[in-house]
């Protein structure tokens, strides 16, 4: 094995071979070879999200210069309302605390975004930290997604209290997580520390067994 392969990023869920499982699931419900059918009307859809650039941003949301600097790069101002997020194109800014946010952006653009932010924030009391490879993001979608997550998460995730765009740091089956509702389907993204990713996936999959479940590959 080339030495470089030892340093190549690998998903924390690689051992589950989710892409192969997704293909087998399609094959098992197809009526003929190569027919791309899916589980009919799945109640829960589980899948790992593709690798993404993730940055922790710290700063003073009340500082006009700080907000101006962030907006100049992301075209989004730091959100100040708790448990909310903002998005612009393929970039997201999630509220983590009064002076802390998570920036999510395409992995290929991360270096450019990080460099631009550091230049803009040089003379300001701010901090930036790359946590891209420290997190795994699991997608949970479908009409029974909320039922599955509620088995291990104390948050009230009813859309009345946790609408599309809402995000919060919480716990799932004793794991610290960041949960983000991204649409009305509903679809949730669960950010979990890489070292807990396998446990969190297995817990979610076990919790979804009572429903018609579909596993999808990274997309």
Q: In what order do the strands lie in the sheet with 127-130?
A: 85-88, 91-97, 100-106, 52-58, 127-130
Task: Work out the pLDDT band at 78, boundaries 50, 70, 90.
Answer: very high
Say what the alpha-carbon torsion angle 21, 24, 25, 27 is, to the nearest 10 degrees.
160
What was the pLDDT predicted at 218?
67
Please list the residue range(s) of the chain that carry CATH number 3.30.70.1520. 52-133
Please list the residue range(s) of the chain that carry CATH number 3.30.1360.120. 13-49+134-216
Average pLDDT over residues 174-182: 98
Say what the alpha-carbon torsion angle 56, 61, 64, 65 is, to the nearest 10 degrees.
-20
The residue to which tokens 């290929």 are assigned:
108
Whole-angstrom distance, CA of residue 173 vs CA of residue 188 = 16
Say which residue, 81 or 6, is predicted with more confidence. Answer: 81
Assigned architecture for domain 52-133: 2-Layer Sandwich (3.30)
Average pLDDT over residues 120-140: 97
- Percentage of the chain beyond pLDDT 90 is 83
- Percentage of the chain beyond pLDDT 70 is 89
pLDDT at 204 over 50: yes
What ranges make up the beta strands (E) of 108-174? 127-130, 135-141, 167-172
CATH superfamily of 13-49+134-216: Probable tRNA modification gtpase trme; domain 1 (3.30.1360.120)
Task: Work out the pLDDT band at 186, boundaries 50, 70, 90.
Answer: very high
Encoding tokens for residue 148? 């599955």
Average pLDDT over residues 73-86: 97
Task: Work out the pLDDT band at 1, boundaries 50, 70, 90.
Answer: very low
Q: C-alpha distances in angstroms, 108 versus 49, 54, 114?
A: 15, 11, 11
What ranges make up the beta strands (E) of 39-174? 44-48, 52-58, 85-88, 91-97, 100-106, 127-130, 135-141, 167-172
Q: Note the pLDDT tens digit of each residue in 18-73.
A: 988 888 876 665 554 455 555 578 999 999 999 999 999 999 999 999 999 999 99
Say which residue, 34 or 216, is predicted with more confidence. Answer: 216
pLDDT averaged over every residue in the chain = 92
Q: Which residues on neighbouring strands pair with residue 88, listed in sequence order? A: 91
Tell me whether residue 142 is exposed, middle or buried, using C-beta atoms within 10 angstroms of its C-beta: 0 to 12, 13 to 18, 19 or more.
Answer: buried
Tell me whether residue 81 is exposed, middle or buried, using C-beta atoms within 10 angstroms of its C-beta: 0 to 12, 13 to 18, 19 or more.
Answer: exposed
Q: In what order do the strands lie in the sheet with 167-172?
A: 167-172, 175-183, 187-193, 135-141, 44-48, 213-216
Cut 0.85: pTM above it: yes
């Amino acid at each position: 094995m080339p030495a470089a392969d030892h340093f190549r990023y690998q998903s924390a869920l690689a051992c589950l071979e989710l892409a192969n499982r997704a293909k087998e699931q399609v094959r098992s419900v197809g009526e003929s070879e190569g027919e791309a059918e899916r589980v009919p009307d799945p109640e829960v859809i589980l899948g790992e999200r593709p690798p993404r650039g993730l940055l922790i941003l710290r700063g003073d949301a009340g500082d006009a210069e700080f907000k101006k600097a962030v907006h100049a790069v992301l075209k989004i101002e730091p959100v100040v309302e708790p448990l909310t997020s903002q998005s612009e194109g393929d970039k997201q800014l999630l509220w983590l605390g009064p002076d802390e946010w998570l920036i999510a952006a395409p992995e290929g653009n991360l270096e450019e975004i990080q460099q631009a932010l550091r230049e803009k924030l040089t003379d300001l009391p701010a901090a930036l930290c790359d946590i891209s490879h420290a997190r795994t993001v699991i997608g949970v979608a479908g009409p029974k997604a909320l039922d599955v997550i509620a088995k291990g998460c104390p948050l009230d995730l009813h859309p009345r209290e946790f609408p599309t765009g809402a995000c919060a740091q919480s716990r799932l089956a004793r794991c610290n997580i960041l949960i983000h509702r991204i649409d009305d389907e509903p679809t949730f993204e669960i950010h979990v520390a890489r070292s807990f990713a396998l446990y969190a996936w297995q817990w979610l999959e076990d919790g979804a067994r009572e429903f018609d479940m579909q596993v999808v590959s990274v997309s």
